[in-house]
């Protein structure tokens, strides 16, 4: 940093010889004149660097000591500008670059969201856009505290939000939690009814009266757990009814059909030429291609990198690396093994989608048949799924005790 400021203020390299050179150095030290890089020359003189301000203070010392001072080199920003004073376009460019840098540094070019799992980043960005928080906005328009409050108010799953600006990045740090539910006593009374047909595998009742047991067959809409507790006297007569919010874990087994068929004759894009690579610059909707692409059917892969000056100073410009290759569509017939692998892969993806929804796979009764022109998967999957949807409880009239 010290060298930078020395260059910014300017300095000169001088040569001192003759006269009382030792006294000259002592007088410089006494007056606070710093001479850096001091060394002896072959003819017995001294060479060193002094600042521009100190150079003009050497004149009275030269008269007292009788030394000769020769200016050898000039360095620094003042001399640079003096040598280029006629290059007006250069200075205009520097001024524009400085102005552009100041403008870019005063804007938000990257909105970063971290810690979110229940709510997607795209959904949160869309909400921020509705609130006027977009890429390219002025940092002075960002009110961190009110913005954090808006996000917490919009998304009930978010329990804590931190909003801060680092460089040209607007960073949202989110903490999500489970929303506290009301206790069973505070919830509305209800029954639990089946929303799917099947055979009850297990039932664990926490509140309410179970109306089915393991092994029973149920249809959609059948009552599973009653949300009414009938209190009886010694004669087994109901003298009072209490209503609760029915709560239970009920699992039902049922079968779902599965069918998938595809042709063994397929089409594939095959590269026929050399891969041509190049780069492009993109700023918003505008793109500048730095290489030409051939006409015709092509395969193209693109990787995009955001440009930044520092860790948090993002520029509104993207650097893209593209690779293109001419290609043509070719038809081929897959082998029996490839057809079976594709059918098995599709079945596995189907099962994974079910399991992501909380459905357990109990039995797999799907068969794969590979024909001459097509491959067919047909059968059923036996699954176990949690059931029980809340339905209104029926209130009964209570007889008043006389």
Q: Which class for 400: exposed (0-12), middle (13-18), buried (19 or more C-beta within 10 A)?
A: exposed
DSSP-derived secondary structure letter, 140: G
Whether the pLDDT of residue 193 is over 60: the answer is: yes
Ranges 275-284, 363-372, 387-396: which has the least confidence: 275-284
Whether the pLDDT of residue 262 is over 50: the answer is: yes
Whether the pLDDT of residue 191 is over 90: the answer is: yes
Q: Which class for 182: exposed (0-12), middle (13-18), buried (19 or more C-beta within 10 A)?
A: exposed
| CA-based nearest residue to 50, from 30, 68, 65, 28 | 28
Question: Per-residue confidence at 81, pLDDT binned at 50, 70, 90?
Answer: confident
Q: 27 with 59: CB under 8 angstroms?
A: no
- Percent of the chain clearing pLDDT 90 (strictly above): 30
Two tokens, residue 167 = 């460089």
For 53-80, how does the pLDDT look when each residue is reduced to its tens digit (9 = 90+)? 888 888 888 888 888 888 888 888 888 8
Two tokens, residue 177 = 């939690």
Whether the pLDDT of residue 376 is over 90: the answer is: yes
Ranges 148-152, 210-214, 232-236, 242-246: which has the least confidence: 232-236
Over residues 143-147, the mean pLDDT reads 89
d(CA 383, CA 387): 12
Instruction: Check residue 186 and give its pLDDT.
Output: 59
Whether the pLDDT of residue 293 is over 60: the answer is: no
Strands (E), 138-226: 158-166, 169-176, 191-193, 198-207, 209-210, 217-218, 223-226
Instruction: Check residue 181 and give its pLDDT.
Output: 45
Instruction: Check residue 184 and give its pLDDT.
Output: 38
Q: 256 with 314: CB under 8 angstroms?
A: no
What are the C-alpha distances in Å from 344 to residues 339, 340, 355, 381? Answer: 9, 6, 16, 14
Question: Between β-strands 110-114 and 169-176, what pairing exists: parallel, antiparallel or unpaired?
Answer: parallel
Whether the pLDDT of residue 241 is over 80: the answer is: yes
- On average, the pLDDT of the chain sits at 85
Q: 65 with 19: CB under 8 angstroms?
A: yes
Higher pLDDT, 237 or 151: 151
d(CA 311, CA 171): 13
Whether the pLDDT of residue 226 is over 90: the answer is: yes
Instruction: Check residue 98 and give its pLDDT.
Output: 87
Two tokens, residue 256 = 């779902």
Whether the pLDDT of residue 399 is over 70: the answer is: no
Question: Per-residue confidence at 402, pLDDT binned at 50, 70, 90?
Answer: very low
DSSP-derived secondary structure letter, 141: G
DSSP-derived secondary structure letter, 138: B
Rank 19-23, 67-71, 191-195, 292-296 by mean pLDDT and report only the highest.
Answer: 191-195
Q: Tell me if residue 222 falls in helix, strand or coil.
A: coil
d(CA 223, CA 343): 40
Whether the pLDDT of residue 282 is over 80: the answer is: yes
DSSP-derived secondary structure letter, 139: G
Q: Which class for 45: exposed (0-12), middle (13-18), buried (19 or more C-beta within 10 A)?
A: middle
For 357-371, how does the pLDDT look when each residue is reduced to its tens digit (9 = 90+)? 889 999 999 999 999
For 20-58, how does the pLDDT look when each residue is reduced to its tens digit (9 = 90+)? 888 888 888 888 888 888 888 877 788 889 888 888 888
What are the C-alpha distances in Å from 294 to residues 274, 300, 325? Answer: 12, 11, 9
Over residues 242-271, the mean pLDDT reads 90
d(CA 316, CA 284): 7
Instruction: Check residue 122 and give its pLDDT.
Output: 84
Higher pLDDT, 311 or 177: 177
């Amino acid at each position: 940093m010290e060298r930078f400021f020395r260059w910014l203020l300017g300095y000169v390299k001088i040569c001192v010889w003759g006269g009382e050179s030792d006294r000259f150095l002592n007088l410089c030290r006494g007056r606070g004149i710093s001479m850096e890089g001091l060394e002896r020359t072959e003819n017995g003189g001294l060479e060193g660097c002094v600042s521009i301000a100190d150079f003009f203070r050497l004149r009275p010392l030269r008269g007292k000591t009788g030394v000769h001072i020769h200016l050898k080199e000039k360095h620094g920003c003042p001399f640079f500008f003096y040598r280029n004073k006629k290059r007006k376009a250069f200075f205009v460019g520097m001024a524009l670059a400085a102005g552009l840098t100041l403008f870019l540094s005063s804007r938000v070019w990257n909105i970063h969201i971290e810690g979110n799992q229940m709510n997607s980043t795209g959904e949160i960005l869309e909400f921020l856009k509705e609130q006027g928080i977009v890429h390219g906005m002025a940092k002075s328009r960002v009110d961190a505290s009110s913005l954090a409050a808006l996000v917490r108010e919009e998304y009930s799953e978010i329990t804590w939000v931190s909003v801060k600006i680092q460089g040209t990045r607007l960073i949202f740090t989110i903490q999500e939690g489970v929303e506290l539910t009301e206790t069973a006593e505070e919830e509305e009374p209800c029954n639990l009814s089946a929303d799917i047909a099947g055979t009850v595998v297990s039932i664990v009742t926490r509140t309410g009266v179970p109306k089915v047991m393991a092994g029973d067959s149920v249809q959609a809409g059948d009552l599973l757990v009653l949300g009414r507790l009938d209190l009886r006297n010694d004669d087994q007569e109901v003298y009072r009814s209490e209503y609760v919010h029915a709560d239970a874990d009920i699992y039902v087994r049922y079968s779902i059909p599965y069918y998938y068929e595809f042709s063994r004759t397929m089409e594939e894009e095959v590269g026929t030429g050399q891969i041509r690579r190049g780069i492009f610059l993109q700023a918003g909707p505008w793109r500048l291609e730095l290489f030409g692409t051939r006409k015709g059917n092509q395969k193209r892969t693109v990787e995009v990198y955001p440009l930044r000056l520092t860790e948090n100073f993002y520029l509104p410009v993207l650097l893209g690396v593209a690779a293109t290759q001419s290609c043509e569509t070719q038809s081929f017939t897959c082998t029996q093994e490839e057809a079976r692998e594709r059918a098995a892969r599709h079945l596995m993806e189907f099962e994974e989608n079910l399991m992501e929804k909380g459905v357990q796979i109990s039995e797999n009764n799907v068969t794969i048949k590979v024909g001459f022109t097509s491959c067919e998967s047909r059968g059923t999957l036996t699954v176990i799924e949690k059931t029980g949807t809340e339905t209104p409880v029926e209130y009964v009239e209570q007889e008043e005790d006389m």
